[in-house]
Amino acid sequence: MNKQGKLIIFSAPSGAGKTTIVHHILKKFPNIQFSVSATTRTLRGDEVNGKDYYFVSKEEFLHKVAKHEFIEFEEVYSGTFYGTLKNELARIWNDDKHVIFDLDVEGGLRLKKKYGEHAIAIFVQPPSLEVLISRLRGRGTDTEEKLKERISKAEKELSYADKFDVIVHNDDLELACEAAEKLVEEFLNK
Ligand code: ADP
Ligand code: 5GP
């Protein structure tokens, strides 16, 4: 890996609005690219393999772990793995772009620790757990069982907010996108 751009990390519990905000940032900044993670979960909604995630079998994922292909990986939900590929970062940086991540709170903090001042770790804060639950239900992409798993993990994840560089409050989506945009602009100009 020769070149190194900056790292913009978005973390939060599932349903807080990370994906929506990250998509907004990608539209506004042509010099930022999304780090496509590998995952063992199945495709949901209108997701595209290779664009939203690299959807792989558990066997394939564990093979990549054994070959040290990940910068970080996590069993985010029981039996479901997610990980950031070294190749993905190298590809984006070699293309002279900065990289944006959508990671769970543990993975987000781990990357921040690894890359220090080259990275900004942003926590997306929903107005409350109740609102988070209603957004997750409204998204309509998870079975009741999956929803329960996401909700029970969310309670713990919300307590991680203070460990991040900065918090973006996502009550009003437009305001949250504006705030995120400003933070990213300032960070890239530093
Ligand atoms: P995450 O990536 O953190 O899991 P998403 O971006 O998928 O979250 O958002 C979860 C759901 O909540 C989506 O259906 C999204 O359209 C909706 N949503 C996001 N932000 C807001 C907001 N500020 N107000 C209302 N709905 C929102
Ligand atoms: P989802 O299934 O909703 O797309 O993602 C579930 C959780 O996994 C989210 O919190 C998301 O940010 C996180 N996630 C996605 N990719 C990665 C990754 O590569 N590493 C880690 N640690 N978490 C990830």
Res 137 pLDDT > 70: yes
Q: Which atom of ligand 1 is nearest to the CA of 20?
A: 6
* Mutation test residue for ligand 1: of 9, 10, 20, 178, the one with most atoms within 8 Å of CB: 20
The reported pLDDT for the residue numbered 141 is 87
Residue 36 maps to a domain: yes
Q: How far is the CA of 187 from the centre of ligand 2 (A)?
A: 23
Domain of 38?
7-188
Res 122 pLDDT > 70: yes
* pLDDT tens, position by position, 176-187: 999 999 999 999
Q: How confident is the model at residue 3 (pLDDT cuts 50, 70, 90)?
A: confident
CB-CB contact of 168 with 121 (8 Å):
no
Residue 2 maps to a domain: no
End-to-end CA distance of the chain: 23
Percentage, residues of the chain above pLDDT 90: 93
Q: Cα separations (Å) of 35 from 87, 99, 128, 177, 180?
A: 10, 6, 28, 19, 18
Residue indicated by tokens 């002279």 = 96
pTM for this predicted structure: 0.96
Which ligand ends up closest to the CA of 146?
2
Q: Which two tokens stand for residue 73?
A: 């990986």
Q: Which residues line ligand 2 (CB under 6 A)?
A: 14, 18, 37, 41, 72, 74, 76, 82-84, 102-104, 107
Q: What string of DSSP letters covers 50-108? A: TTTEEE--HHHHHHHHHTT-EEEEEEEETTEEEEEEHHHHHHHHHTT-EEEEEE-HHHH
* Average pLDDT, rounded, for the chain: 96
Distance CA 18, CA 6 (A): 19
Distance CA 42, CA 36 (A): 15
Residue 154 phi, psi (nearest 5): -60, -35
Residue 16 maps to a domain: yes
Residue 110 maps to a domain: yes
* pLDDT tens, position by position, 64-115: 999 999 999 999 999 999 999 999 999 999 999 999 999 999 999 999 999 9
CATH of the domain at 21: 3.40.50.300
Residue 51 maps to a domain: yes
Residue 124 maps to a domain: yes
Distance CA 170, CA 166 (A): 13
* pLDDT tens, position by position, 10-67: 999 999 999 999 999 999 999 999 999 999 999 998 999 999 999 999 999 999 999 9
Residue 42 maps to a domain: yes
| DSSP SS3 for 44 | coil
* pLDDT tens, position by position, 147-167: 999 999 999 999 999 999 999
Domain count, the chain: 1
Strand order in the sheet with 119-125: 32-34, 98-103, 7-11, 119-125, 166-169
Residue 1 maps to a domain: no
